[in-house]
Amino acid sequence: MTSTPGGHARTERVGPRAVGEPLPLEVEQGVPLDMMLTRAGSRAGLRGILPARPLAAWAAALARRPVTVAKRGRDLTTEIIDIVAGHGPPLPRDRRFNDRAWTENGAYRRWAQTHLAIHSTARLLLQDAELDERTESMLRLLIDNAASAASPSNTLLNPAAVKEAFDTGGVSLWRGLRNLLDDMSAAPRIPTMVDRSAFTVGEDVAATPGTVVQRHEMYELIEYTPTTPQVRATPLLMVPPMINKYYALDLAPGRSVVEHLVGAGHRVFVISWRNPTAQHASWGLDAYVGAVLAAVGAVLDVTRSPRTSLWGTCSGGIIAAVTAAHLASRGQDLVASLALTVTLLDQDVQGATGALLDPDQARRAIRRSARRGFLDGASLAELFAWLRPDDLVWNYWVSNYLMGRQPPAFDLLFWNADSTRLTAALHRDFIDLAIHNRLLNPGSLTVRDGPVDLGDIEVDSFVVAGKADHITPWRTCYRSTRMLGGRCEFVLSNSGHVAAMVNPPGNPRAEFQHGTSTPEDPEEFLAQATTVSGSWWPAYVEWLDSRSGDLVPAPSQPGSDAYPPLHPAPGTYVHAT
């Protein structure tokens, strides 16, 4: 093992690999990003994600500790006796048990207390086994999912469901059964989280005025209409993820970062990725970097600017960073600044997400997507849901099926349900990046006939992460500040993965930590960072202003001679299913 600039351990550097080469058989530990794609689409829920080997290791470790196991058993028995006698501990704050019956009715209270006691004992037995971190993380995910599934609140005896059935004369049960059958009839086979009929793309979401000025085989380039008499001379090109549609960047009016940036006087361009099919299976990392290079060329032609700023989100952030490194290695000074939101460049992630990448599963996943030509985004959505089952599965199970209610109308969940496919080649390349953590090792990855070194990116960077992010953990996102060559500022939002990005001003609960100094230890950053109430968007605007040149008259027409207006925003690719 060696030490990285960020002070964390890593595997020895592997040899360079050009994108598109076969994945070596000797895969090492790595970690997902959209790399949880590894197992997505294989089986429903967590089946197949947690193989028998960790369970066998846990059983063997406990078999070597019979005294400890016996003590845990005695402690649990004593606790259950206390619970039955009415002397159990008070129920913790848990929205599953919000109904008054869980605390005021003795039978319900004892049921919930017993469930929590068993879950706690299983967790303690896992700690007692003293397994390696990866195995323990996998088993913790299994234990927590099993406990979530077995929660008393998920049964028809849930007091809220009983009351609803009584109040509606049983109609709620019929509605719930109908909702269940509808959801189980097609992927992703998890409870519906949103009323999809409540939104129309281009009207309620993706509604900021703009024009498609380039239609590439892989994307449409949208130029947004200025709303200020003057704009910054240096434009901004935004690179969204490849899973789900681009309009997380242009959500509902008042909740759109695109709208916010345009209103602040910036010329904003966004890539709207095409939803690929099997015929596009060969589009890999090389092709997507080439697509961003083509978009950069179009933006510079339209704006007559020598440089553009880049913004990348999640997997789009990886593509944006690799593109910037590629340009820097060629001596092409085309990037003015770089923003990365909820993006993992160093993919050595611990915990539940890091536990999901298994070498054998990786090879099987690559073969599956190669046969189909793509990875289905609906299956990925299912996997993400099982990483937070209480919030993303069982909460809606109770509401939709036990209570017989329709899901709410929420723009962010509507976007989340609007999934896309990932090409087989990009799936393969992303898994390779994760397994070998290639971006951490300069020269390990070759793109467009050149080695990639993120240290070549010497422009200033603005890195954003979410404190509650379960997909791209913030401490891992923070390591990007140690990998990029320029001066970095780091922002830590108090939100989760998507909400960290969709963070409009006006939310009284929003806050973030911001620092211009990025020490190696993320905890040191946290100790010295400034805590700011509200959205981080204005902080980014201020940062971007100083790196975007002078104010110039806003253009009266979109596009240019080489890139004429083609279609009103949000274009045509966003509507493809």
Please report the DSSP string for 460-520 in residue order: -EEEEEETT-SSS-HHHHHTHHHHSSS-EEEEEESS-TTTTTS--TT-TT-EEEEES---S
pLDDT at position 574 is: 97
Q: How far apart are CA 95 and CA 91, in angstroms?
A: 11
Q: What percent of the chain has pLDDT over 70?
A: 88
Smallest Cα–Cα separation from 151: which of 394, 384, 383, 387? 394
Note the Cα 111 to chain centre separation in Å: 35
Contact criterion met (CB below 8 Å) for 296 and 308: yes
What are the beta bridge partners of residue 338?
A: 310, 461
Smallest Cα–Cα separation from 345: which of 513, 194, 156, 482? 482
In 330-451, which residue ranges form alpha helices assigned H by DSSP? 351-355, 359-372, 377-387, 389, 395-396, 411-417, 424-436
Q: How far apart are CA 438 and CA 306, in angstroms?
A: 31
Structure confidence by residue, pLDDT tens digits, 233-279: 999 999 999 988 999 999 999 999 999 999 999 999 999 999 999 99
**Per-residue pLDDT at 372 exceeds 70:** yes
User: Cα torsion at 467, 471, 473, 479 (round to 10°)?
Assistant: -130
State the Cα angle at 409 between 403 and 415, rounded to 5°: 120
Greatest CA span in the chain, whole angstroms? 82
pLDDT at position 113 is: 97
**Per-residue pLDDT at 2 exceeds 80:** no
Quick one: the chain helix, strand, coil %, rounded to 5?
45, 15, 40
**Per-residue pLDDT at 7 exceeds 50:** no
In 193-276, which residue ranges form alpha helices assigned H by DSSP? 257-263
What are the beta bridge partners of residue 513?
A: 492, 531
Structure confidence by residue, pLDDT tens digits, 83-101: 999 999 999 989 999 999 9
Supply the pTM of this predicted model. 0.83
Spatial neighbors of 109 by CB under 8 A, at least 6 apart, are: 88, 91, 102, 103
**Per-residue pLDDT at 353 exceeds 60:** no
Structure confidence by residue, pLDDT tens digits, 433-480: 888 899 999 999 999 999 999 999 999 999 999 998 878 889 999 999
Spatial neighbors of 128 by CB under 8 A, at least 6 apart, are: 62, 65, 68, 69, 72
Q: How far apart are CA 55 and CA 61, in angstroms?
A: 10
Q: Which residue has the tokens 């990029």?
A: 484
Q: How far apart are CA 215 and CA 563, in angstroms?
A: 9
**Per-residue pLDDT at 16 exceeds 80:** no
Give the residue with greater pLDDT, 410 vs 121: 121
State the Cα angle at 472 between 484 and 365, rounded to 5°: 105
Confidence of residue 72 (pLDDT cuts 50, 70, 90): very high
Confidence of residue 27 (pLDDT cuts 50, 70, 90): very low
Average confidence (pLDDT) over 312-328: 97
pLDDT at position 354 is: 54
Q: Which two tokens stand for residue 97?
A: 């048990």
Mean pLDDT of the chain: 87
Contact criterion met (CB below 8 Å) for 423 and 276: yes
**Per-residue pLDDT at 383 exceeds 80:** no
**Per-residue pLDDT at 390 exceeds 80:** yes
**Per-residue pLDDT at 23 exceeds 80:** no
Give the residue with greater pLDDT, 68 vs 47: 68
Confidence of residue 389 (pLDDT cuts 50, 70, 90): confident
Q: How far apart are CA 149 and CA 160, in angstroms?
A: 18
Q: Which two tokens stand for residue 113?
A: 């207390």
For 527, counting Cβ atoms within 10 Å of its Cβ (0-12 exposed, 13-18 middle, 19+ buried), the class is exposed
Of 12-26, 380-394, 448-462, which range is least confident? 12-26
Catalytic residues: 314
Contact criterion met (CB below 8 Å) for 434 and 39: no
Average confidence (pLDDT) over 23-42: 34
